[in-house]
């Protein structure tokens, strides 16, 4: 079965790394979807607390280039050990760039039973003059396969009260480097809408411009192509109130 056959006509949920999901107990709700898609460090975390809030299933795991390079490198023994202990075998592994070294790694690793593929690119609107973030790429990749529905949970564009804005994007690296205590997983974080304006005013970095992804995802929501959780609804509503335009 290829990827689009796997996705077609299924109820799909894409779970992002936002710490706003801490202590929300969304795990059972997430696991009830037909297909659960997650990113990066989720594959290496088996803590019960993560499972309660973010769900235990991973049918599709998507890696960005940084996490792919980390897995392939010779310095990832601890992460590979965590992945093995997690005992989760995704049906599909999706990566941004599928070079021979990456392909050979997955083919000869604990993921050898998974299907490895490259995330499809998409035609961006004229205002989107930057490289899309992984989440945006995944959303379009799934939509190309005609799911029955695509739900987006756990994305907040870093508009939260956590001091670790990227902890769950690269959670394994942070924990291994002792940048964050496991006790932080028990903290509760709230939405901080004041950061929306900062995102819109933020200049483009070398590759990305976060406001492009925000506006694009809002357009998909307004055109009924995706279903979003309350966090994203509040961000989109606030964005419209302050007349966010590109």
Q: Tell me the pLDDT tens digit for each residue of 47-73.
A: 788 889 999 999 999 988 888 887 777
In a domain, 65, yes or no: yes
- The residue range of the domain holding 49 is 3-241
Q: What share of the chain is helix, strand, coil (3-state, %, to 5)?
A: 45, 15, 45
**Could you tell me the two tokens for 137?**
């790429």
- Measured CA to CA, the distance from residue 217 to residue 220 in angstroms comes to 5
- Consecutive H or E run containing 53: helix 48-54
- 46 within a domain of the structure (yes/no): yes
Domain annotation covers residue 59: yes
111 within 8 A of 89, measured Cβ to Cβ: yes
Task: Identify the pLDDT of residue 175.
Answer: 43
Whole-angstrom CA distances from 222 to 16, 32, 130, 218 are 20, 25, 22, 6
Q: What is the CATH number of the domain that holds 153?
A: 3.90.1480
Eight-state DSSP code of residue 145: T
Query: How confident is the model at residue 70, as a pLDDT?
Result: 78
CA angle, residues 101, 66, 80, in degrees to nearest 5:
70
* Residue 38 DSSP code: E
Q: What pLDDT is recorded for position 145?
A: 97
4/22 Cα distance (integer angstroms): 32
148 in a structural domain: yes
Task: Please give the pLDDT value at position 102.
Answer: 77
Q: Identify the segments of the chain with pLDDT beneath 70.
A: 46, 74-82, 84-87, 163-186, 204-206, 245-246
Q: Give the bridge partners for 36, in sequence order.
A: 13
Structural domain count of the chain: 1
pLDDT at 50: 84
224 part of a folded domain: yes
Tokens of 164: 């670790």
Structure confidence by residue, pLDDT tens digits, 92-119: 999 988 777 777 877 777 778 889 999 9
Is 179 contained in some domain? Answer: yes
Q: Is 246 part of any domain?
A: no
- What was the pLDDT predicted at 205? 67
Other CB atoms within 10 Å distance of the CB of residue 125: 11
In a domain, 82, yes or no: yes
């Amino acid at each position: 079965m290829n990827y689009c056959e796997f996705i077609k006509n299924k109820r799909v949920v894409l779970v992002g790394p936002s710490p706003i999901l801490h202590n929300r107990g969304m795990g059972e709700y997430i696991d009830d979807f037909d297909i659960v898609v997650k990113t990066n460090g989720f594959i290496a975390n088996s803590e019960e607390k993560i499972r309660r809030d973010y769900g235990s299933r991973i049918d599709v795991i998507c890696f960005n280039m940084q996490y792919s390079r980390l897995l392939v490198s010779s310095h990832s023994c601890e992460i590979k050990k965590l992945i093995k202990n997690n005992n989760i075998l995704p049906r599909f592994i999706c990566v941004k760039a599928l070079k021979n070294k990456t392909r050979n790694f997955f083919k000869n690793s604990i993921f050898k039973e998974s299907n490895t593929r490259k995330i499809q690119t998409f035609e961006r609107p004229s205002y989107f003059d930057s490289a899309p973030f992984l989440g945006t790429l995944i959303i379009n990749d799934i939509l190309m396969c005609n799911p029955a529905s695509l739900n987006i949970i756990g994305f907040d564009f870093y508009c939260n009260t956590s001091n670790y804005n990227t902890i769950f994007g690269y959670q394994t690296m942070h924990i291994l480097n002792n940048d964050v205590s496991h006790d932080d997983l028990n903290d509760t974080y709230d939405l901080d809408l004041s950061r929306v304006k900062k995102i819109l005013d933020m200049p483009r970095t070398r590759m990305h411009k976060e406001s492009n992804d925000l506006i694009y995802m809002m357009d998909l929501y307004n055109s009924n192509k995706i279903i979003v959780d309350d966090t994203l609804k509040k961000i989109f509503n606030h964005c419209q109130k302050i007349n966010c335009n590109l």
